[in-house]
A and B are shown apart, each in its own frame.
Chain A
Amino acid sequence: MTLHSEKLSPPPATSGVRWWGNSFVRVILGRVGQLAVLLWGVSTLLFFLLRFAGDPALIMAGDNATSEFVDEIRVQYGLDRPLFVQYFFFLWHAAKLDFGYSLASGLPSLDLVLAQLPWTIKLSGLAIMLNLLVAIPLGAWLGQAPERRTRNAVSSLVFILQGTPGFVTGLLLIQFFAVKLGLFPSIGSEGTLSWVLPTLTLTAFLAPRLTRVLASNVAEAMQTDFVRTARAAGASESQVLVRHALPNALLGTAALAGSQLSYLLSGAIITETIFAWPGLGLLLIDSVRTLDFPVVQASVFVVACFVFFVNTSVEMLFRILDPRLKQRTK
């Protein structure tokens, strides 16, 4: 039998400097390289997808415009040039973080994105924290003894919640808490209370999934040898859960929580639309509707950077928390 303690044993003190000096820095540098490739790939894909999605000159000109008028608009915005010329022009400027000006408003597109990004980040941060606060205890409780009747019922409820679309939850929350009870605002971001319903909506969408994964991991951990050993040593059920099963189960769910944060940062579009939240999701929807290429490109660029940052942070965290990963990369 492979002893659990062997898997988690810390590296010898002498290897610590080498690990940080070589492996960790190497990983970070590798990630920066990956980020550059990722940004190039995402930008390129988006550039061509957007061009095939439609002609912004037509939207700017309107459906009453003559073809000559539309052509003049294409010339004005450089849309008449060959696609690859437009692409290299875009890449050159994107490398300098210059995404051009919004076709709709004529304002710098990156500034438009940065102005709305904080609202999405703050809402995402709140939602992910509430998500963890709900999912960790609930998942641990459900996973501890999944066969019990009460927990089975709660498990079914969590399953139903997982299948409920976010917009349905959002509209129901508004109807009950804003329209019927008048406790919270249904739109906007004015005041602390206005954060409640959007945060709850996002949490209601995220928490069931995390809860179920954690419950499954905890249930699995409860059957392992080290848990049996802990029981034999006289640990109470709560001690077994909190000290032995849960920490192991959390390792797996941390990855999911990281990907959920990435999902939120990429724009909780529906939630932002329903609550008229001034975040990136709403900006993206408006920009796509009007084929405002520069704003869409700047938005996706910024989101890709943040998602990468979050994913890399989670991975680094894993390396610190789980020495097995460190040993594999040696």
Chain B
Amino acid sequence: MQVNAGQPKKRRTLIFRGLIAVMTTALFVSGTVAQAAPSPKAGAACSKAEAKVTVKSGKKALKLTCAKVKGHLIWVAAIPKVKKPVVAPAKLGGNFRVGVAALPTGKGNPFVGIGTPGIYTMAAIYDSLVTINEEGDLVPSLATKWNQTSDTSWTLTLRDGVTFSNGEKFDASSVVSTLSYLTQDPVGAKTIVAAEVNNISSVSGSGNTVTITTKTADSILPRKLTVVWMVAPKAWQTLGAAGYALTPIGTGPFTVTEWGATAISLQANKASWRSPKVDTMQVLQIPDPTARIQALQSGQIDLAVQVGPDETSEVDRKKFQVVYDSFPQVMSLAFITTKGDSPLLKKEVRLALNYAINRDSIVNNLLGGKGTAANQGSTKLVFGYNSNLSKYPYDPTKAKALLATAGFPTGFSISADVTVGSFPADADIYQAVARDLKRIGVTLLLRQIPFSEWLGLYSTNGWKGQAFGLSWNSNTLDARRAIGLFSCSGPGKFFCNEDMTPVLTEIDNASSESARKAALLKAAEINYNNPPALYIVGQVDINVLGSAVKGFKNVNRYFPYEKITVR
């Protein structure tokens, strides 16, 4: 009976002490690591490695360390210790909170990304020279006028009295500095934004007038300038790209007060020419769309950006505003005709597939009636949209007849690589397409792949199937870009229609907007009669607002934040 008399108690004590030791260690380690994280700093360009300096930017003192970044010595900002993301209480007046799927990948650097996700933040901080309104027309922003003075030369008149949030004056030198960085700097010229303006050969100007010269005739240069956010030249020089990423300075309605891991806090830039009506703003990263809606419902945000029809189905329309907007991008399945034998080599087959799908059903049942049935690669907002082209009717009988003519009376099987999750209901839309094609005997096998794999296959034309998901998009709302992707000279080289080649040359050499438009209309007609893709639908954006928000407008994902009020 003395077997267990003393040992269990001792061992139990040891076990419990051990558990307490593990918990204490975990807490100690977490505390230690928390303290070990660097303090908030920003950075800039420099000449001596490891040198340290403190600079002032506005009211902020920035501590900088000189380090080698991608082969260049620059002042580098240490990463600020992640502070608690500031989620202000729900009922604070004058505070506008936006829930987005992702924050800008390059933080506040405006040149490493175009469009989503960055645009939702950048539109609050920066301005471009020209912008596009909801009708697809160019409208003034920091430039009030623009004239094409010759085939390769443009003159812009800049807005008076504009200053950056750090007090620097916006003038011609700002434009020269920004565009020179994108066209001449070894780092800047490799950015994604630089690719849009690489036709610029020189920029000069003084006061409020800027002259831009292009390498070749460029009748849509102002459209290209809509993706270039203007930066403050002196601050850029001081901070460098890395420092600017942490302390972005623009002419927009807000300035950044804190850039956290999942939240950006901004305050009103009252001196902005677009002075906002609310005092503060937060952009919060909430990757899951359902969680974005729940955050809106629980009063933690005022705007849930880019959610799907499924997430909005349970939203109380009396308390929240569900806003559908057309987005100028056409969802399609691109046909691959440059890789060996395929039924899609025949024009009749490509036409048949376009007659086989019920676009109206997709629009009404999957997009809440807000999308558009597509018959070309552009939507009405895009420069070069051909309104004379009629819809492809939903006509399975005609589709079957065309298949029979092409020698496929019983149909065939094809496969397509697609990415999903980029647009509302895209997975469901692909399924609906597959269902419709099955009715004419065509089996469509869908393979879902991640975007990184998609890009690799796209750039090398390494597709294994006969089609793939590709949206017809245009950052500058000009149809040329998408038409080019589906041409013999496109980067993917998956489709080639020689009839298009001279038309593309005509578009590129057009010296006037009207000449360019005529050529674009011709290109749309060629692609209508000999489709390089199965056009599906013009996509939509769905944003949900709290009832207290007024003045919201979605202009191709650019939100004019200065007009927003929160009751």
Chain A residues at the B interface, C-beta cutoff of 8 Å: 3-5, 8-9, 53-55, 58-67, 69-70, 72-73, 76-77, 101, 104-108, 111-112, 114-119, 121-122, 124-125, 128-129, 132, 167, 171, 174-175, 178-179, 182, 185-191, 194, 226, 229-230, 232-233, 242-244, 246-247, 250-251, 254, 257-258, 261, 273-278, 282-283, 285-286, 289-292, 306, 309, 313-314, 317, 320-321
Contact = CB atoms under 8 A, between A and B. Distances in A.
A282 B261 contact: yes
B242 A188 contact: no
A76 B30 contact: no
Contact of B37 (A73, A107, A118, A179): A118
Nearest to A9: B7
Interface stretch (B124-132, B285-293, B496-504): B285-293
Contact of B11 (A8, A118, A257, A273): A8
Interface stretch (B77-85, B402-410, B510-518): B77-85
16 contacts: A4-B4, A60-B112, A66-B491, A72-B190, A105-B109, A107-B107, A115-B38, A115-B261, A122-B34, A174-B294, A187-B286, A189-B84, A226-B4, A230-B4, A273-B288, A282-B262
Interface stretch (B18-26, B136-144, B156-164): B18-26
**What 7 A-B pairs come out closest when comparing CB atoms?**
A54-B452, A278-B261, A111-B79, A118-B34, A121-B30, A104-B105, A247-B12
Interface residues of B, number: 89
A187 B79 contact: no
Contacts of A63: 455, 458, 485, 491
Contacts of A185: 87, 298, 300
Given A132-B23, A278-B82, 4 more contacts: A62-B114, A64-B481, A69-B198, A230-B4
B192 A187 contact: no
Contact of B241 (A9, A106, A242, A290): A106
A76 B191 CA distance: 11
A261 B30 CA distance: 13
Contacts of A60: 112, 192
Contacts of A233: 1
A76 B262 contact: no
Interface in B312-337: none
B4 A291 contact: no
Contacts of B187: 76
B341 interface: no
Nearest to A279: B261
B102 interface: yes
Contacts of A58: 452, 455-456, 459
A248 to B, nearest CB: 8
Nearest to A132: B19
A121 B241 CA distance: 31
B135 interface: no
Given A115-B80, A179-B297, A244 B4 contact: yes
B15 A250 contact: yes
B469 to A, nearest CB: 12
Interface string B271-306: 000000000000011111011001101111100000
B344 to A, nearest CB: 21
B7 to A, nearest CB: 5
A63 B220 CA distance: 20
B298 A186 contact: yes
B192 A188 contact: no
Given A53-B452, A54-B452, A54-B453, A313 B25 contact: yes
Given A105-B245, A278-B260, A321-B14, A179 B4 contact: no
B86 A290 contact: no
Contacts of B27: 125
B3 interface: yes
A83 to B, nearest CB: 15
- Interface residues of A: mostly helix, strand, loop or mixed? helix
Given A106-B69, A244-B4, A278-B262, A125 B14 contact: no
B106 interface: yes
A111 B26 contact: no
A171 B15 contact: no
Contacts of A274: 288, 291
Contacts of B285: 276, 282
Nearest to A125: B26
A101 B12 CA distance: 49
Q: Which of A55, A63, A226 has the most CB of B within 10 A?
A: A63
A77 B475 CA distance: 25
Given A122-B34, A188-B262, A106 B300 contact: no
A194 B515 CA distance: 59
A278 B85 contact: yes
Given A119-B82, A233-B1, A273-B287, A317 B294 contact: no
A247 B453 contact: no
Interface in B1-58: 1-4, 7-9, 11-12, 14-15, 18-19, 21-23, 25-27, 29-30, 33-34, 36-38
Given A111-B78, A276-B291, A317 B456 contact: no
Nearest to A177: B298
B231 interface: no
Contacts of B8: 226, 243-244, 247
Nearest to A277: B262
Given A189-B84, A290-B105, A116 B261 contact: yes
B294 A175 contact: yes
Contacts of B485: 63-64
A5 B287 CA distance: 55
A70 B300 contact: no
A78 B221 CA distance: 32
Nearest to A129: B23
B70 A254 contact: no
Contact of B7 (A5, A171, A229, A292): A5
Given A105-B245, A128-B26, A278-B262, A76 B190 contact: yes
B18 A317 contact: yes
Given A62-B114, A114-B38, A226-B4, A187 B291 contact: yes
Contacts of A70: 459
A101 B70 contact: yes
B414 interface: no
Nearest to A128: B26
A182 B80 contact: no
Contacts of B1: 229, 232-233
A290 B291 CA distance: 22
Contacts of B262: 188, 276-278, 282
B263 interface: yes
Contacts of A278: 82, 85, 260-263
Given A8-B7, A188-B262, A107 B82 contact: no
B61 interface: no
Given A108-B79, A115-B79, A73 B190 contact: yes
A179 B294 contact: yes
Nearest to A283: B261
